Copies of this chain bind each other. A is one copy, B any other.
Amino acid sequence: MNVLIVHAHPEPQSFCAALKDAAVETLASQGHQVQVSDLYAMNFNPVASAEDFRQRENPDYLVYALEQRMGVASNSLAPDIQAEIRKVQEADLLILSFPIFWMSVPAILKGWIDRVFVSGLFYGGKRVYDRGGMAGKRALVCTTLGGRDYMFGAGSLHGELYGEAGMLRSVLQGSLGYVGMEVLEPFVAYHVPYIDDGARSALLAQWRDELKQLDRRPVMAMPSLADFDDTFRPRQASAA
C-alpha cells in the first residue's frame, strides 16, 4: 500500500508530529510505502490565486475551478500543485495529520485542499462522492486538540466533532468524501496540551495499534449518487 501523510503543525516537536512519526514508522514496518508532505517544513503556499496557472483560459477574469480544469488538461498547473497531485494519485491511503484550529484544519492545510484537489481530476460535473475522481482510495484524519472528549458529541458543549453534524463535516464529507475517498473514522487525541507523558505514550500506542487494523476501522457514511437523479435531486422526492 502507498500512503501519503499530509502533516500541518507549526511545532516540529509537537505531539501531533509524534503521531505523524509513529504513523510513518508503523506503516513502514508493515511493508507499506510512506511519503510525507510536511506543509510547514515545505513552506507550502496555501493561497489559491491566479499565480497557480502558467497558462490562462481567461486572463481577464479568474474562475478558479475553470482554470484548474484547463490546467489539468494542458499540464500547466503550478509545479508545487502538480507535485502534490502526483503524491495523492500514487497513494492508496491519505492521512491528514493536524491540530484542530477553530474546529477545523489549519489554514495551511485548508489551502493544500483548495489548491491540490483540482477540478477535472479530483471531481468534475457529476463525478462527486462515490463517483468522484479519487474513488478507490481511503482517507484518515489524525488530529489533536485541547478540549476534552465529553465536550464533543450530541448534547455536549460543542456538539459533534465528526459524524453527521460534525464540526469537521466540511473536511470529511465536503472534501475527502466529495472526491470519492472512503473516509475512515478519525483518530482524535483530546486534551493534548494538558496530559502527562504517560497518557501521551498510551495514545501513541493506541494509534500504532489502530494503524495495524485499518481494515477493521469503521467507514463513515457518505452520500451515494444512486440516491439522487441527474440533477442531484433526491430520487424519493417524487414519491414523497
Contact = CB atoms under 8 A, between A and B. Distances in A.
A50 interface: yes
A175 B103 contact: yes
A124 to B, nearest CB: 12
Given A146-B65, A228-B157, A232-B151, A174 B223 contact: no
A9 to B, nearest CB: 9
Interface string A169-207: 111011100100000000000000100000000000000
Contacts of A166: 169
A111 interface: yes
Interface residues of A, number: 56
Number of copies: 2
Contacts of A103: 169-170, 173-175, 178
A48 B106 contact: yes
A40 B46 contact: no
B158 A174 contact: yes
Contacts of A232: 148, 150-151, 157
A102 B156 contact: no
Most buried by B among A101, A175, A228, A232: A101
Given A10-B64, A157-B232, A174-B167, A107 B114 contact: yes
A168 interface: yes
Nearest to A157: B232
A136 interface: no
Nearest to A102: B175
Contact of A107 (B46, B150, B168, B178): B46
Interface of A: 10-11, 13-14, 40, 46-50, 61-65, 101-108, 110-111, 113-114, 117, 129, 146, 148, 150-151, 155-159, 164-171, 173-175, 178, 193, 223, 228, 232-234
Contacts of A146: 65
Nearest to A52: B10
Contact of A63 (B40, B47, B169, B193): B193
A175 B110 CA distance: 15
A102 B62 CA distance: 17
Given A13-B61, A164-B165, A111 B46 contact: yes
Contacts of A173: 103, 158-159, 167
